[in-house]
Amino acid sequence: MHTFFVPELDQHHLAADEAVHATRVLRLRPGDAIALSNGRGTWAEAEITEATAKVCTYRIIRAHEIPRPKHHLHIAIAATKNHDRLEWFVEKATEIGIQEISFLRTDKTERKHIHYERLEKVAIAAMKQSQQAWLPVLHPLRVLADVLPQTGQRFIAHVDFNNPVLLSRVALPHQRYVVLIGPEGDFSEAELEAAATHGYQKVSLGQNRLRTETAALMACAVLNEKNQT
């Protein structure tokens, strides 16, 4: 069954781009069954009632609420020079399960802007593909100081062989987490000090040196696994 994103389910029609995909690409017709997600916890089964070149309407057969996960994962990742790598992270993190993503402009970040609308579309597509009811919150590019004030367990991934504390060993289940992931070249000393002042614990993601987006996905996978009980 094909899944579509409909922010307001009671509007009973797909958005223009979703309608085109449904009728022209998938060639769905009246009577065909579809699944709907509003990205805020509601999952519905529906039936197409009208399908033209530009319009696709539906009636909801049944709907149910899917509760939020017991944990809340917020990854704050330095914007990579190659935008495709950011898109890759957003796609895979959404598929695995993440609640919030911030894009950071750090002292060593080369990228000055991101294609926010494109990243949002990637997240929506990944949510649909993985058949989830919750869409992660994506924040526009912002400086580290704006992200630091957080509650819950706070971690900063940092290559520091004098402090090899693994994230998997210190994270507790069913918590709010925020994990800071730096750029290639890592955070500056001033940023590390600022994070420490705000209660962030330095953690390791393993012995290998990882790319920014790989480290962020590793943190996402570790904390998702931690909360599978």
State the pairing for strand pair 201-203/153-157: parallel
pTM for this one? 0.94
State the pairing for strand pair 100-105/201-203: unpaired
Same fold yes or no, 2-65 and 72-226: no
Measured between alpha carbons, how far apart are the two ends of the chain, in Å?
28
- pLDDT string in tens for the chain (229-residue length): 899 999 999 999 999 999 999 999 999 999 999 999 999 999 999 999 999 988 999 999 999 999 999 999 999 999 999 999 999 999 999 999 999 999 999 999 989 899 999 999 999 999 999 999 999 999 999 999 999 999 999 999 987 766 678 999 999 999 999 999 999 889 999 999 999 999 999 999 988 889 999 999 999 999 999 998 6
Choices 2.40.240.20, 1.10.4080.10, 3.20.20.240, 3.30.420.40: CATH for 2-65 = 2.40.240.20
Domain boundaries defined on the chain: 2-65, 72-226
Q: Per CATH, is 72-226 categorized as 3.40.50.720?
A: no
